[in-house]
Structure 1
């Protein structure tokens, strides 16, 4: 029962005030842009190891699912390690989540259940192409009581992108010729495409949230088209220009540009507009070194990483939960389940990952 309550609280924090993602490619270089829009900017950058055995944190009514991470990854986490909002792995696959009101996850069936944020970590652990993410639907289903209605934008090192949504209990994927523009905001991809030729005046019944989402989709699409006319484009700078254009006043907390081709992460935060860069080649993803985290709020210059600890993990969870009225009454024992979960993961040589 505690696990079920925890899962709902973890992902409830994911509902923001509008997020934006896109992919941009020029010649052999591929980048992925993302604005995270929410009420608070607390978070950790987490270095996740390869060859780690993990088990899904699910209610006792679910079959136990285990997997071993094939790839290391760097993720942005707000509710503790192993429950990311998005990130990039060694294979060059990026996945990010966004709120979608109409999401409906599958009902219980023969597949293994997994919580929605752990589903993201699973994909970063094992997938090196968008097709791997799609094919995981044969094995896994996001549990229906997750508490957060999300859809996902994924791009891989080949420049292939996909929008992954759960509509009426089934995975719905837009990729290849069906992905007309590599952009996703907070409306379904189908509705977003339909809206490109319409305006708010043509559909006055739209909610403010929907109108805002569709406006950002249209703005981002137009800016991607303008990029094609640039004579000497800089993908990183232009991606930040897009993110700055569609940012949400006081609610855009993190702006991230993943340089997939070079396995780099460029980012800035509301509290520190100086851009920083992380290179995956600088990290040891093996069991030979400790797990690392960086506090997004404490950055003053170069990104500083320190050894992960469950105490720091719990401190982040407490900061986030205590800052949100909907979560501040969550009891200590529930918070500690999440904070201590990484101690249950082990390297395949049976040494603790922590």
Structure 2
């Protein structure tokens, strides 16, 4: 019992040292500990329980699944690459005195870009939607720039092929060939930028390497077409180009998978993984056949070219299906975000 008593004039009989002392009683060590605690709070609280494993709301995707059709958009990727790289190789063949290769590649580029545009328009649903994209010139939009690029490249590739076949207006034909060759690399690679500009994890996170994968794949396809359509005496540049394209695509794909970590799983698993492995195998077969026998045997050149064309198509379809798989599984969106936040906090 306390002997203190509360009267009108105050408290009487209280024991000393009973007042509540705010900020005192802990001593210098206590104040130092509190300052350390505040500093830790600014850096992030210490976890007292293990971090929870990843889950999502009933397994629902975090982002919308791409609604593009594989035949249209993956075909658009492949045919655009074949057309653009083919125009570059055609210009080189013309300058070095290989008329059969040059004409074959000009024709194949015209057919390929026509098929690529048709696939894009089919996916859009109505042809006027492509024309509507030309109403705006927006350098920050890959779709806008791609539409203008195709609008400039298509007529140049068409004029180069038609004038070469008819033999008319040789100066105009050379100018059209040069114009198509200048725009060709952009046509071959811009679809990678278009895919990486989306929120799809396997595409967006691969923005550094994907243009090199597409460029190597385009060179592989164009050189494969050259081996199929050219005589043995003219296919030397196609052999060298095929080896370069396969090396570039393989190196870029390996670097991409290494850097992406967990997000690279769709490139190794499922339909995307199967297609990417098929592309690697066909590329190896086509490159070996081209290097060892394509300059001596017409049959070997055709078979090697067909393998290279198929490899390029498998790469484009594999990249497409890997992207769709990464969008359907929410972990490829959420887990990398958590890892990035953790790195920033540390």
What TM-score, normalized by structure 2, do the two folds share? Answer: 0.27
> Rg: which structure is higher?
2
Determine which structure has greater relative contact order: mean sequence separation of CA pairs < 8 Å that are 6+ residues apart, divided by chain length.
1
Higher helix share: 2
Higher strand share: 1
